Structure 1
């Protein structure tokens, strides 16, 4: 199999989902050639810095502005037209790579390359099957384009919403978001918590804000650290060095045993050993929490996609909300003192987890490739 996976490194979720799928394919078809392209960076590094750097600054400094942009791009207005034109220009830059690589399948884990490939297929530049994997828990029009052979979504609600937006039901599969195989490994709780100086017998709360370490993490920790319950805390600051320093200072006055971590590749271990996860509702983080079977409390959702993710989780009683995280001490205390509530959330999250996501997508890929091969053979005979 030759597969070209097109993604964009806005946050970490899109690329991580791509890597999870690539590694799964190589495990079962080790002779496959799987290429992941950070698409905008590959086409134009300067433009990538401008677009992705601007996106990251916006969600950190003025998230409400990002929310307005998110809403505006749901409509066919001026901003959408500019985005469409930009993707059209970039699609022609991407074409030579696709022609040279000659993939059997193209997989997109971000809206931008999805539109680029759609444009090229519309203009009959090639007829390679394309799968679009949506990496959140609610759809957005930026993902939906002509000439997408199959959409993979995280839940059945999305399937219904996309049908209402004009997508053929038969092309939508609620297989879930691919996650790293590391999340399926079982770790010894005693060993993991002892390694970071914590007690395996205490209830453990994990606080994180993705690889960027954004959101009201310090505020949330400051409040939880004043609880008098018999608990302990892990806080992951990600790549946010300023946050790490702030957390280390707050730790000195904490009533609760705490381990402060910077960027780590072991999120899977800490999720698995925690009784409650406090986090922003990023699509991949939610999926990893489901697989790890850890209850969720949500704070600081980015207006737009993360807010939609939060709405989905609250609708199905899969999480509680802490709002912006500035007043959450009592909410968390009440939840910790309600083991039945925590257990109910764990039970529900297990039902919504999709542990066979990579396998199902892998089978879908092979089906699309075979379907195209049959069509090509038929055309040659005629």
Structure 2
């Protein structure tokens, strides 16, 4: 079977979900051919820099404005019309690639590529099954389009949300967001901490802001080092070189043993070695944390989708809310002093996790391919 996966590299989650599924398929199925395309970059690298660059800049400089646009786009038909026109133009650019690769199934992990596929199917330019993997913990209209044959969603609650938006229940599958097989492979905590010259018997906190190192990480760290409990900290700075440099200066005289790591592909090891994750609530990050059974303290959510992710975590008692990260030391202090609550959060995380997402998606793809003519 030939599978074409379309994504967009805004942040890291959308593309990482695609890579996770491809990795699983290639590891377990020799007869599959899988190709991942960074859709907008493929269509036009300059356009990609403009769109994605503007998106990332808006998140850093004007997150509240981004949140307003996100909320308006849920109900404002004018915004939907604009995105529809843009994606219609882009869909014609991606069509030759689809024809050339001639996939049996196409999977999208981003709203833009999902709408492009919907448009092409609506115009009878493609006829293969199209699957969308939604990489957040609530549904948004930007994800929902006609001609999608299956939606893979992160949790059962989203089924009701999508039914209220007139999505047929038969096409909704709460299999969870795919994560790298590394997250379902046990890693020895002592080995990981020893490799960082950290104490294996001491509580360890993991502080991160996604692959881009976003959020008030410096402020949160300053709060952490003032907490009168003995613990150690691992910080993942992602691709944020400015943050990495600032942290190196800040931690020189820190009262807490701290290890700073830049961009890494071993997040799985660090999550499994820690007792609490302090993070922005990005869709893939929290999915990885749930699979790792890791309680969370969440801060600086991007207005819109990350706020919805945060609501989900708080509702199911797998996280505490640090808001913007300022003045959070008392909340962290109380949580670390209450092992019963921490253990309950860990239990809830494991209960909510869907570590078999990739394993469950594959039979669905095979079924869609087999029944293509009935779609």
Do both share a fold (TM > 0.5)?
yes
Match of 2:172 in 1: 172
Match of 1:73 in 2: 73
Residue 226 of structure 1 contacts residue 254 of structure 1 at CA under 8 Å; is this kept in 2? no
Match of 2:162 in 1: 162
TM-score normalised by L of structure 1: 0.96
Q: Does 1:342 align with 2:342?
A: yes
Residue 298 of structure 1 contacts residue 310 of structure 1 at CA under 8 Å; is this kept in 2? yes
Match of 1:220 in 2: 220
Match of 1:379 in 2: none
Q: Kindly report which structure 2 residues correspond to 1:222-371, keeping only aligned pairs within 5 A, or say none.
A: 222-371=222-371
Report the count of equivalent residues. Answer: 375
Separation in structure 1 between the aligned mates of residue 248 and residue 137 of structure 2, nearest angstrom: 34
> Which is further off, 252-261 or 233-242?
252-261
Separation in structure 1 between the aligned mates of residue 234 and residue 64 of structure 2, nearest angstrom: 29
Q: How far does the alpha carbon of each residue in 1:109-129 deviate from its partner, in whole angstroms, 9 at most, with x for none?
A: 000010001001001112100
Q: Does 1:117 align with 2:114?
A: no
Separation in structure 1 between the aligned mates of residue 147 and residue 52 of structure 2, nearest angstrom: 26
- CA shift, 1:74, in A, is 0.9
Residue 227 of structure 1 contacts residue 255 of structure 1 at CA under 8 Å; is this kept in 2? no
Q: Secondary structure at 1:271's aligned position in 2? A: helix
> Which is further off, 201-210 or 224-233?
224-233
Separation in structure 2 between the aligned mates of residue 311 and residue 237 of structure 1, nearest angstrom: 25
Match of 2:199 in 1: 199
Separation in structure 2 between the aligned mates of residue 241 and residue 126 of structure 1, nearest angstrom: 43
Match of 1:100 in 2: 100
Q: Secondary structure at 2:371's aligned position in 1? A: helix
> Which is further off, 63-72 or 270-279?
63-72
Separation in structure 2 between the aligned mates of residue 323 and residue 7 of structure 1, nearest angstrom: 30
- CA shift, 1:40, in A, is 0.6
Separation in structure 2 between the aligned mates of residue 186 and residue 32 of structure 1, nearest angstrom: 27
Match of 1:54 in 2: 54
Q: Does 1:16 align with 2:13?
A: no
- CA shift, 1:75, in A, is 2.1
Q: Kindly report which structure 2 residues correspond to 1:32-47, keeping only aligned pairs within 5 A, or say none.
A: 32-47=32-47
Q: How far does the alpha carbon of each residue in 1:223-281 deviate from its partner, in whole angstroms, 9 at most, with x for none?
A: 10122212100111111111111111211232111111111111110000000000000
Separation in structure 2 between the aligned mates of residue 77 and residue 183 of structure 1, nearest angstrom: 40
* RMSD between superposed Cα atoms in Å: 1.1
**Consecutive unaligned residues in structure 1, runs of 5 or more:** 377-382
- CA shift, 1:288, in A, is 0.2
Separation in structure 1 between the aligned mates of residue 126 and residue 55 of structure 2, nearest angstrom: 31
Separation in structure 2 between the aligned mates of residue 283 and residue 367 of structure 1, nearest angstrom: 27
Q: How far does the alpha carbon of each residue in 1:284-339 deviate from its partner, in whole angstroms, 9 at most, with x for none?
A: 00110011111000000000000000011111112110000011001000000000
Runs of 4+ more than 6 Å apart: none
Separation in structure 1 between the aligned mates of residue 218 and residue 241 of structure 2, nearest angstrom: 12
Residue 6 of structure 1 contacts residue 109 of structure 1 at CA under 8 Å; is this kept in 2? yes
Residue 219 of structure 1 contacts residue 326 of structure 1 at CA under 8 Å; is this kept in 2? yes
Q: Secondary structure at 2:190's aligned position in 1? A: helix
Q: Secondary structure at 2:253's aligned position in 1? A: coil
Residue 150 of structure 1 contacts residue 172 of structure 1 at CA under 8 Å; is this kept in 2? yes
- CA shift, 1:176, in A, is 0.1
> Which is further off, 26-35 or 361-370?
26-35
Q: Secondary structure at 2:317's aligned position in 1? A: coil
Q: Does 1:210 align with 2:185?
A: no
